Amino acid sequence: CWVRVPKASTGKHCPLTMTTRCEAVQDGAWLLTNVLTPDECERLQRECLADYDRLKQCRSDDRLRVMERIELPHPELAAIIWERIAPLLPPWVVVDGSEASKLLGLPAESPLLHGCWRLHGLNPYMRIARYPGGGAGHFGPHRDGAFERSLNERSLITLNGYLNDVPVGCGGCTRVLVDDLQ
């Protein structure tokens, strides 16, 4: 989440035993590795599968997406991830409708959101997706919705992660698209 109003910081959590790395992919997109340990990924996968009845088929239109998704309130995990990635991200962004804002993927079209936003934390609701495999699952081009606590505290960017490793070229990729700016 990003805020326009200063907020107090949260308490400390257990540090990660391996180093989280950040690589800029393009303006407004970064590749973070080692955000969660393999054990943390496995625990989260088990937690989702244990609550399988809550997995929802997201099949509104097969051209857009074929997947299952569960939304879990997980403020503790959000706080842990936040501690690991916050130092790697820009501390603030300006949303002003400019081409620079649009290139960052920010919601620049809404004057209500224009201003200087400070990085503050993560959405405590984790959306975990599962694809059927065999080349059947996909999620087509789209713009993620925002998590809003108030007009002055909301998400501006998406943290998209994978809980499993797959060999290069075997799926599990995310493409970051830039809107046509003309």
Question: 50-75 pLDDT, tens per residue?
Answer: 876 666 655 567 777 777 778 888 99
Nearest 5°: phi and psi at 29? -135, 130
Each domain of the chain, given as residue ranges in start order, spans 2-7+16-154
- The rounded distance, in Å, linking the Cα atoms of 36 and 84 is 9
Which residue would you say has higher pLDDT here, 115 or 179?
Answer: 115
Q: Please check the confidence at residue 14 and state whether its pLDDT lies above 70.
A: no
Which residue would you say has higher pLDDT here, 169 or 77?
Answer: 77
Nearest in space to 80 (alpha carbons), one of 128, 32, 24, 40: 40
Q: Kindly report the pTM of this predicted structure.
A: 0.75
Question: 77-107 pLDDT, tens per residue?
Answer: 999 999 999 998 888 888 888 887 777 777 7
Nearest in space to 18 (alpha carbons), one of 35, 30, 32, 31: 35
Cα 67 from chain centroid (whole Å): 17
Residue 75's pLDDT is 93
